[in-house]
A and B are shown apart, each in its own frame.
Chain A
Amino acid sequence: MRLSNTMLTYAFRLYVVGQTLRAEMAESNLRFLCESHLDGRYDLEVIDATEHPERAEADGVIATPTVIRVAPLPQVRVIGDLSDHSRSAGALGLFSPGGPSDHGNAP
């Protein structure tokens, strides 16, 4: 499954703070986007910055939620709860399974 179309595996790091509604929104939105665009070919690590401030430090994160696309390179970042799916997909470089040129802007 994972290696189906392309060899690309997507990896994301999502920084949140605590168990807030905003954190949950961000995670569910991100998972939804990945499921719909990547067909499950992704890794997602959710990091609570209050528990791991040194990791937020290392990644230079100050706003939460922040999602970092760790792979493929280059790294891409988006701040916010990703409530606008099409913009989020575009910003994270997610292509829908249909066509690689579709930057998530298709309906």
Chain B
Amino acid sequence: MTRRSAGQIERLPTGIQGFDQIALGGLPAGRSTLVAGTTGSGKTLFAVEFLGRGITRLGQPGVFVTFEESMDDIRRNARSFGFDIEAWEAAGAWAFVDASDDMLQREPIIGSFGFGALVARIQHAVRRIKAVRVAIDSLAGIFTRYRDDRVIRHELLRLTSALASLNLTTVMTAERAEEYGPITRHGVEEFVLDNVVILRNVLRREQRRRTVEIAKLRGAAHRTGEWHFGIDPHAGIVIIPAALPSARLAPPEVEEATRAGPATKATESTGAASTSLDAGDAESIGLDADSTRSAGLDASGPEPTDPVPGDLFSNERNATGPDSAGGTARGLGRAGTDSRGDESHGNDSHRDESHGDEPRDDFADTGGATGGSGAEATDASTGGAAPDGAGTDGAGTDGAGADEAGTDGLGTAGSSTRRTSASGARTGRTGIGGARTGGTGTGKTSTGGTRTGEAGTDTTSHVERRVSSGNTVLDRMLHGGPYQGSITLVAGPMGSGKTLTALNFAYAGIRSGERCLFYSFDETREQIYRNGRGWGIDLAALEDAGQLLLITRYPETSSPEEHLTHLRRDIADFKPHRLVIDSVGTLARVVAPRHMVKFIVSARAIIDEYGITCWLTSSSFSGRFNTMPLMTLEIARVADVTIALRLLEHPGEVQHCISVQRSRGSGHDRTIRRFVIDGTGMRIGEPMTAAADLPPAWRSSGRPSPPHPADDRADGRADDTADLDGW
């Protein structure tokens, strides 16, 4: 109650994965929040995590009041999620108030009563460990035990005000009778509590779906609607805010770790040879892909000059969350673009400095771009000091990506928004610092550049760097390989070589020192080992070396949300640079088609978050999109690069051929090429020509089902594109 008049409500980050994003920063600090749910919806876990994350992430001690489960049960259950409550108790970070009910010894109630002793005990525990958080689980215990709703309501009010007067942020759980009905069974708590979060666990289409909804957060902005979450047996609650503008979920240290190291090697293969001390930065900017795509599209005009939008964005972000360094960089991609500065990129040295309001925020961007020579972009970022992160570029050294952007920008300035995004990020940072107008230090010298406020931006600077697909010809077809952080979908019928492309992709990364996470939903571990051996790849040895993590799992073993939480956990644990899912199409067995987009977008959010380059395979009937299963089409919508494999039935033999259907933000080869699979892997040949290579059936227009008559291959391609885009 102490802060009610304070205008802006202060938030306390829960630390629960994803929750603070949908709550736009966390729970209202110093207040009580009701977390309501049916049995098994995860209420107790939420309460435990609320305290546990507070202790581990913010060093905030917490008091746990239990009305139902015994302390031992809670300790034991929490241990499996990695919460060592006993250790915390010993360290004085966690205190129990045991109000659990002994059903056999329920005392009679004669006359009026209150919960004075409970309040006294909570206050005592709070003082003892200097608690910041309190969790009460669950109010249902009080109601069944003391029955008198009127009294309980009155006493709850006293309890919440007592907690508020101690400035405690409290989570109280309560039981719901049904998923969609009154908020709580007893119908009184929601009048007492200003803030209500609902957890659901709904059986729908034979699938358990857990969702979390913020029903009300009085006086505080929050995201609405139900958000999926999973309960990860090791990480606890993981809420999946698909495609949220601030979809940066993981703690920053994970990010750093992900990006440290071998990432540098990846870039070498692109020929652009920009080096990446700054892998982290470029990737984190790439994170914006989703948000900027939506937010920045309209801003792609070449000459916007007003830095204000950038500032707005930054403000919004400040308001919305505990964003740290990386998160900051993200929005910046939107903020400004230096669309022409890159033309002179041979000696383009950006001196962007932003100060103004920020305490310390300049960074010398000694523009990496020393020509195409690929010298290191040493962008000494001394920023990151500003606590709110608004204008600070956490640790960013851009440069590498930006270099390349410059190169591309030469030819296509203005038209290729993608290309400019990295440099946009670079300058954007300035804009957000609010200091475009007055650098204190080095003036801004963007040689040859006109700074444009809000241009380009569109996508992802993680796309600035190319990685190898593992097949040099295919890389050529993609004009240099897929962009780092992109998603490639390989669609083709059974036996067309999808898994081989996936293995190639994985192996290419491993050869350059990267780690690869390989999910197989189709085959067993032994089968995959055998496949690898067939092409001379010893997968088992790579696994032993820690470069490969092979996970084979049948889709049916988990719900879609669980697959996502597994994916998230595996990524967080293994920190791969590349991810393969072979085949993602088999997930259709557990994901209803209409949920597929959501599923993939959620997965994309995870992948983007870590800047992982992803290779998906999915089956199709013939390799043409108009004959693809719905599932594959849904995935294709999300993918950046789509590659079709086909089987052509020539008289007497079946031939494989490959074509790039689309490649976002890049040119690509438009031919259809034959390839053969032999002991060395996949050998892609020259473009096929209609007369010589295509089977007769394709040339006669009479046959409906196989692909178009491709007497002119360019036309054939165009058709395919149209098919895809039409979807």
Q: Which residues of A contact B (CB under 8 A)?
A: 15-18, 22, 25-26, 29, 49-50, 53-54, 56-57, 60-66, 76-84, 87-88, 91
Closest 7 CB pairs of A and B: A17-B116, A53-B124, A80-B111, A81-B111, A62-B118, A77-B107, A83-B111
B residues 338-369 touching A (CB-CB < 8 Å): none
Count of CB-CB pairs between chains A and B under 8 Å: 96
Q: How far is the CA of A15 from the CA of B121 in the complex (A)?
A: 12
> In the bound complex, do residue A49 and residue B116 qualify as a contact, i.e. CB atoms below 8 Å apart?
yes
Q: How far is the CA of A60 from the CA of B371 in the complex (A)?
A: 75
> In the bound complex, do residue B121 and residue A53 qualify as a contact, i.e. CB atoms below 8 Å apart?
yes
Which single member of A18, A29, A49, A91 contacts B108 (CB below 8 Å)?
A91
> In the bound complex, do residue B109 and residue A79 qualify as a contact, i.e. CB atoms below 8 Å apart?
yes
Closest A residue, CB atoms, query B107: A77
> In the bound complex, do residue B107 and residue A78 qualify as a contact, i.e. CB atoms below 8 Å apart?
yes
> In the bound complex, do residue B124 and residue A65 qualify as a contact, i.e. CB atoms below 8 Å apart?
no
Cβ contacts A to B, 14 pairs, < 8 Å: A17-B114, A29-B111, A53-B117, A53-B120, A56-B120, A57-B124, A60-B99, A62-B115, A63-B113, A63-B114, A64-B116, A80-B113, A83-B111, A84-B110
> In the bound complex, do residue A78 and residue B120 qualify as a contact, i.e. CB atoms below 8 Å apart?
no
Grouping DSSP codes into helix (H, G, I), strand (E, B) and loop, the A interface class, with mixed when no group exceeds half, is: mixed
> In the bound complex, do residue B110 and residue A82 qualify as a contact, i.e. CB atoms below 8 Å apart?
yes
> In the bound complex, do residue B114 and residue A64 qualify as a contact, i.e. CB atoms below 8 Å apart?
yes
> In the bound complex, do residue A60 and residue B98 qualify as a contact, i.e. CB atoms below 8 Å apart?
yes
Which single member of A25, A49, A50, A60 contacts B111 (CB below 8 Å)?
A25
B146 interface hit (Cβ, 8 Å): yes
B97 interface hit (Cβ, 8 Å): yes
As a 0/1 sequence over residues 120 to 140 of chain B, the CB contacts with chain A under 8 angstroms (1 = contact) are 110111000000000000000
Which single member of B105, B110, B118, B119 contacts A80 (CB below 8 Å)?
B110
Q: How far is the CA of A22 from the CA of B98 in the complex (A)?
A: 24
B residues 66-114 touching A (CB-CB < 8 Å): 97-99, 105, 107-114
Expressed in whole angstroms, the minimum distance between the Cβ of B470 and any Cβ of chain A is: 64
A84 with B117, Cβ < 8 A, contacts A57-B97, A57-B124, A62-B99 known:
no
Q: How far is the CA of A87 from the CA of B110 in the complex (A)?
A: 7
Closest B residue, CB atoms, query A54: B124
> In the bound complex, do residue A79 and residue B117 qualify as a contact, i.e. CB atoms below 8 Å apart?
no
**Residue of B117, B118, B121, B146 with most chain A CB atoms under a 10 A cut-off:** B117
Expressed in whole angstroms, the minimum distance between the Cβ of B130 and any Cβ of chain A is: 16
Which single member of A18, A49, A79 contacts B113 (CB below 8 Å)?
A79
Q: How far is the CA of A56 from the CA of B113 in the complex (A)?
A: 15
Which single member of A16, A57, A80, A84 contacts B121 (CB below 8 Å)?
A57
Closest B residue, CB atoms, query A17: B116
Q: A49-B120, A53-B125, A81-B111 are in contact. List 12 more A-B contacts (CB 8 A).
A: A17-B117, A22-B114, A49-B116, A49-B117, A49-B121, A56-B120, A57-B124, A62-B115, A62-B117, A63-B115, A78-B109, A79-B107
Q: How far is the CA of A67 from the CA of B491 in the complex (A)?
A: 74
Expressed in whole angstroms, the minimum distance between the Cβ of A88 and any Cβ of chain B is: 5
Closest B residue, CB atoms, query A21: B112
Expressed in whole angstroms, the minimum distance between the Cβ of A31 and any Cβ of chain B is: 15
Q: How far is the CA of A54 from the CA of B117 in the complex (A)?
A: 10
**Residue of B108, B118, B124 with most chain A CB atoms under a 10 A cut-off:** B108
Q: B114 contacts which chain A residues (CB < 8 A)?
A: 17, 22, 63-64
Closest A residue, CB atoms, query B96: A57
Expressed in whole angstroms, the minimum distance between the Cβ of A65 and any Cβ of chain B is: 6
Q: B108 contacts which chain A residues (CB < 8 A)?
A: 78-80, 87, 91
Closest A residue, CB atoms, query B99: A62
Q: How far is the CA of A18 from the CA of B119 in the complex (A)?
A: 12
Q: B123 contacts which chain A residues (CB < 8 A)?
A: 50, 53
> In the bound complex, do residue A82 and residue B124 qualify as a contact, i.e. CB atoms below 8 Å apart?
no
Which single member of B105, B124, B125, B146 contacts A63 (CB below 8 Å)?
B146
Q: How far is the CA of A28 from the CA of B98 in the complex (A)?
A: 29
Q: How far is the CA of A29 from the CA of B124 in the complex (A)?
A: 29
> In the bound complex, do residue B107 and residue A50 qualify as a contact, i.e. CB atoms below 8 Å apart?
no
Closest B residue, CB atoms, query A64: B116
> In the bound complex, do residue B113 and residue A17 qualify as a contact, i.e. CB atoms below 8 Å apart?
no
Q: How far is the CA of A16 from the CA of B119 in the complex (A)?
A: 12
**Residue of A50, A76, A83 with most chain B CB atoms under a 10 A cut-off:** A50
Closest B residue, CB atoms, query A80: B111
Closest B residue, CB atoms, query A50: B120
**Residue of B109, B111, B112 with most chain A CB atoms under a 10 A cut-off:** B111
> In the bound complex, do residue A61 and residue B113 qualify as a contact, i.e. CB atoms below 8 Å apart?
no
Q: B111 contacts which chain A residues (CB < 8 A)?
A: 25-26, 29, 80-84, 88
A17 with B107, Cβ < 8 A, contacts A60-B98, A63-B114, A63-B146 known:
no
Q: B107 contacts which chain A residues (CB < 8 A)?
A: 66, 76-79
As a 0/1 sequence over residues 696 to 713 of chain B, the CB contacts with chain A under 8 angstroms (1 = contact) are 000000000000000000
Which single member of A50, A54, A78 contacts B116 (CB below 8 Å)?
A50
Q: How far is the CA of A79 from the CA of B123 in the complex (A)?
A: 21
> In the bound complex, do residue A61 and residue B110 qualify as a contact, i.e. CB atoms below 8 Å apart?
no
Expressed in whole angstroms, the minimum distance between the Cβ of A17 and any Cβ of chain B is: 3
> In the bound complex, do residue B110 and residue A88 qualify as a contact, i.e. CB atoms below 8 Å apart?
yes
Q: B105 contacts which chain A residues (CB < 8 A)?
A: 77
Closest A residue, CB atoms, query B123: A53
Which single member of B110, B112, B116, B146 contacts A16 (CB below 8 Å)?
B116
Closest B residue, CB atoms, query A25: B111
Q: How far is the CA of A91 from the CA of B110 in the complex (A)?
A: 9
Q: How far is the CA of A60 from the CA of B113 in the complex (A)?
A: 16
Expressed in whole angstroms, the minimum distance between the Cβ of A29 and any Cβ of chain B is: 8
Q: How far is the CA of A83 from the CA of B112 in the complex (A)?
A: 8
Closest B residue, CB atoms, query A90: B108
Q: A26 contacts which chain B residues (CB < 8 A)?
A: 111
Q: How far is the CA of A83 from the CA of B110 in the complex (A)?
A: 7
> In the bound complex, do residue B113 and residue A81 qualify as a contact, i.e. CB atoms below 8 Å apart?
yes
